[in-house]
Structure 1
Amino acid sequence: MKHLEAIETFVAVVDQSSFSKAAEQLKVSKSHVSRQIAILENHLDALLLNRTTRQVTLTDVGQSFYPTCRDLLASLHEAEQAIIEQQHEARGLLKVSAAGQFGEDYIAPAAIKFMARYPQVQVDLDFSNRLVDMVAEGYDIAIRAGALKDSSLIARRIAARKLLICASPEYFAKHTVPKDPHALRNHNCLLGTLDTWRFRENSRHIDIRMSGNWRSNNGRALVHAALAGLGLVQLPSFYLQPFIDDGRLVTALEDFYPTDTGTWAVYPSNRHMSQKVRLFINFLVEEFAG
């Protein structure tokens, strides 16, 4: 491709919002970056970037051209990487973000089994509850749960995720069992990181704001509060099922459970999928099947 270097330079400038930073990334001079952008704009007979002393922004033409260039480069990198890696076993550092009990009880054991199968891989498994910036912080994969919002990340569903609503028998002995989600305004709802709970009502999914006197970003802490009779909790089934089975928690509103949630492996769309990432995601799908 005649202008491949110029296209690669253009994408780097947009991604970095800077000629200087693009030059650093590409390990070339700033003047070389400027020349490549000029070559591309002259070839297209169109202005792609607005330059000021403080910032670089896309023109309207640049905004329509950039996604095609980005996806083209990603496809080329992926094809090149596939050829390079098809004769090699997965190797290198795999950096994964996986918070919560699902990460502890499922992702960590799966990662250990994966390393046994691919001993040339080193795993860095981070359990921070914060929403990491995958590109800036160098994560290969993040494990995320729920109904995914639109983003620049690519996602693959690795496991089902069923949200349940429970309270203790003692709580329900003192309070009326709710008949629909809107009746929860009369109940004490034990809250996690979000103020809203998700439901399916009349064939559509809705989020309803809840209130209560207990909040925690830790699922086990919410379970303990529910077991103590403080109120109702909405959590994935793997937190609650053992206590439902032994009768210490009772489910409610089963007809309104959401059906659009799942557990996902996500990775940046502007990074080609390496062999180690592809194999690890496939391994998780296989491990959690059913």
Structure 2
Amino acid sequence: MAKWEESEIFVSVVKHGGFSAAAEKMGVSKSHVSRQISQLENRLGAQLLQRTTRKVTTTEVGQAYFLRAKELVEGLEDAEKAVMDLQATPRGNLKMTVAGGFGEDFVAPAAAEFMSQNPELNIDIDFTNRTVDLIAEGYDLAIRAGVLSDSTLIARRIVSRSLCICASPDYLARKGKPESIQGLSRHNCLLGTLPTWRFRSSSGHSEQRLEGRWRSNNGRALLSAARQGLGLVQLPEFYVRRDLAEGTLVEVLKEFQPTDTGVWAVYPSNRHLSAKVRLFVEFLVNYCREHNA
């Protein structure tokens, strides 16, 4: 580091024509500049500058050193500028993993709009239900729903998520409405990836293992089965919003609706977070708010 500072100060002295101008430009004292130049000349065993009361000029050796050192200093300045530009403008490749209807209805259209506004950006969206190792598999970002497990990853809530239990009027006419969580054991429950549903309880939140004749890792497949009167389903509110409004599905056990779930943007670290991730997450939050996610 000392060697680099000596060279950087030497280049500044030559470029700005003197010790005082270099000191002012770099925000250091004139004595510090003089000391660094002396140390550099002593280390190299050569006189680099000719000093008079009126001006400072390079010796022949000093001019040769200046030309090489100037390239290095300017190269570092360019590298730092490139990093700062990347922090300010989304560019390069943004690789994210998403799953389910939220990804289809909100993340994908938001990403398309974001990319149209940032022509230097490429986007790669991987739809999968499996747990992805963001760092090992080279992902910048994951959009995950539900309750997050403890992790070293950084998470930001995109939207809150309500889980609704509902069924078709036909199914409820045939089987009756459940009045308690325990009463679900007498119903056909349409199950997703997990064999459990989540509930709000007097102790906070709980999970109940259930049984059913229909299972799918796709929310729209579960929704189709519920519309056909095959059983009860627990789905995020955005899946069933229209059906509830139109009466094709009826919500039950609303008092047990969990309150601790959400949709999250998850990424490896918020230290030196790249512009492409930081700005897309902000864009997605606003997009979801504007589109009533």
The answer to whether TM tops 0.5 is yes
Q: Does 1:210 align with 2:182?
A: no
Query: Does structure 1 conserve the Cα–Cα contact (< 8 Å) formed by 2:160 and 2:263?
Result: yes
Structure 2 counterparts to residues 38-117 of structure 1, below 5 A: 84-85=84-85, 88-117=88-117
Q: Which residue of structure 2 aligns with residue 235 of structure 1?
A: 235
Secondary structure of 2:136's aligned partner: helix
1:178/1:84 CA distance change after superposition, 3 Å: same
Equivalent residue pairs, number: 213
Q: Which residue of structure 2 aligns with residue 188 of structure 1?
A: 188
Query: Does structure 2 conserve the Cα–Cα contact (< 8 Å) formed by 1:165 and 1:233?
Result: yes
Distance 2:156 2:88 in 1: 24
Secondary structure of 2:259's aligned partner: coil
**Residues 232-267 of structure 1, C-alpha deviations (whole Å, 9 max, x = no match):** 000001111111111111100011100011100000
Q: Which residue of structure 2 aligns with residue 171 of structure 1?
A: 171
Paired residue type of 1:184? L
Shift of 1:130: 1.5
Shift of 1:269: 3.0
Secondary structure of 2:135's aligned partner: helix
Paired residue type of 1:182? Q
1:216/1:125 CA distance change after superposition, 3 Å: same
Distance 1:83 1:210 in 2: 52
Distance 1:206 1:253 in 2: 14
1:81/1:243 CA distance change after superposition, 3 Å: farther
Name which one, 1 or 2, has greater alpha-carbon Rg. Answer: 2
**Structure 1, 113-122 or 247-256: larger mean CA deviation:** 113-122
Secondary structure of 1:149's aligned partner: coil
1:277/1:81 CA distance change after superposition, 3 Å: farther
Q: Which residue of structure 2 aligns with residue 280 of structure 1?
A: 280
For the aligned residues, what is the CA RMSD? 2.2
Shift of 1:85: 3.4
**Structure 1, 170-179 or 85-94: larger mean CA deviation:** 85-94
Paired residue type of 1:252? V
Distance 1:213 1:147 in 2: 26
Distance 1:207 1:82 in 2: 49
Q: Does 1:142 align with 2:142?
A: yes
Distance 1:144 1:236 in 2: 13
Paired residue type of 2:138? G
Q: Which residue of structure 2 aligns with residue 39 of structure 1?
A: none
Query: Does structure 2 conserve the Cα–Cα contact (< 8 Å) formed by 1:96 and 1:125?
Result: yes
**Residues 150-169 of structure 1, C-alpha deviations (whole Å, 9 max, x = no match):** 11211000112111001011
**Residues 77-116 of structure 1, C-alpha deviations (whole Å, 9 max, x = no match):** xxx8997237742211000111111101110110011112
Q: Which residue of structure 2 aligns with residue 250 of structure 1?
A: 250
Q: Which runs of 5+ in 2 are unaligned?
A: 3-79
1:153/1:122 CA distance change after superposition, 3 Å: same
Q: Which residue of structure 2 aligns with residue 261 of structure 1?
A: 261
Secondary structure of 2:112's aligned partner: helix
Percent identical pairs in the alignment equals 58
Secondary structure of 1:136's aligned partner: coil
Paired residue type of 1:279? L
Paired residue type of 1:280? F
